[in-house]
Amino acid sequence: MPDAPEPGDLKPGDLEPGDHNTPKAEYTLVYPVWSRRAGGLSIGINLNPGKECNWACVYCEVEGLVRGAPGSIDLEVLEGELRSVLSDAAAGRWREAGRDEPAAVRDLCLAGDGEPTLSPDFEAAVEIAAGLRVEHGLDHSSKLVVISNGSRTHRPEVVSGLARLQAAGGELWFKVDAGSSERREALNGIRNPTDRVVESLVVASSTVDTWIQTMAVHPHADPEGVARIVTQAMDQGASPRGILLYGLRRPSHQSGGKDLKALSHDELQAGAEILRRETGLPVRVFE
């Protein structure tokens, strides 16, 4: 692997792993990013440009996060920006910093600066992304992903959007960070009852291919609790594809974030082994 470039060595089109801010400067709703979970170039779609979310995860890197729901976005702007970024990618504009070869698009991802399913345009955005993915010939080489805290999968308009995601061959990454209401309050800023998390996971995985995503960070790592939630949901009919376990990479901009500490390689691997053993699911680790 080449050494990481110094900031002054970056060239136009370079994307640094973990930098979700610099690429956003050129667009309002769409941004290219080098993603560790995607394993390369991810095209982010931000339905929360005002940084609105119904959770306040202590590890969240979004500066200026506000509690609440976003308003409508301009869908023509979204479509235009997404088409432009995908065209630039096809022309070889984007690459990982320190490398010369252009990057292929690995996924189109609805995530951004807040919970995407809060947007009144969620289903329409999925439709636009699905259509442009096909238009640019990416339907067999890239994924369509929604990263969500899973709190709204019971709502009909969200279920409809997830059904459209499934029809496009997409995936939902459903956040489960802790096994108790108390731990969720400390980690996610919301005291969500366990039975509600379980019910939401059952609904989600019956609608669209669903992966569990879980953050493991000191002092809040709770692989045993996450495993209990997942197995309880599976006992009630949930069918997650697997678990995405990831550690702290970017600095938090939330109160309490200064007390967080990234887990070591061995600690993450130990957590992954607990999740595999207790759930029987495949676990992928992202450090």
First CA to last CA across the chain, in angstroms?
16
Judge whether 150 lies within some domain: yes
Which tens digits make up the pLDDT trace of 201-233? 999 999 999 999 999 999 999 999 999 999 999
Judge whether 206 lies within some domain: yes
- CATH number of the domain that 98 lies in? 3.20.20.70
Which tens digits make up the pLDDT trace of 121-131? 999 999 999 99
Arithmetic mean of pLDDT, 249-255? 85
Nearest to 132 by CA among 40, 36, 23, 45: 45
Range of the domain at 96: 7-286
Judge whether 93 lies within some domain: yes
Cα–Cα–Cα angle for 78, 81, 86, nearest 5°? 120
pTM metric for this prediction? 0.91
Judge whether 2 lies within some domain: no
Judge whether 52 lies within some domain: yes
DSSP letter, residue 25: G
Distance CA 216, CA 268 (A): 7
Judge whether 85 lies within some domain: yes
Give the chain's domain count. 1
Judge whether 246 lies within some domain: yes
R_g of the chain computed on alpha carbons: 18
* Amino acid (one-letter) located at 14: D
Judge whether 20 lies within some domain: yes
Q: What is the pLDDT of residue 213?
A: 98
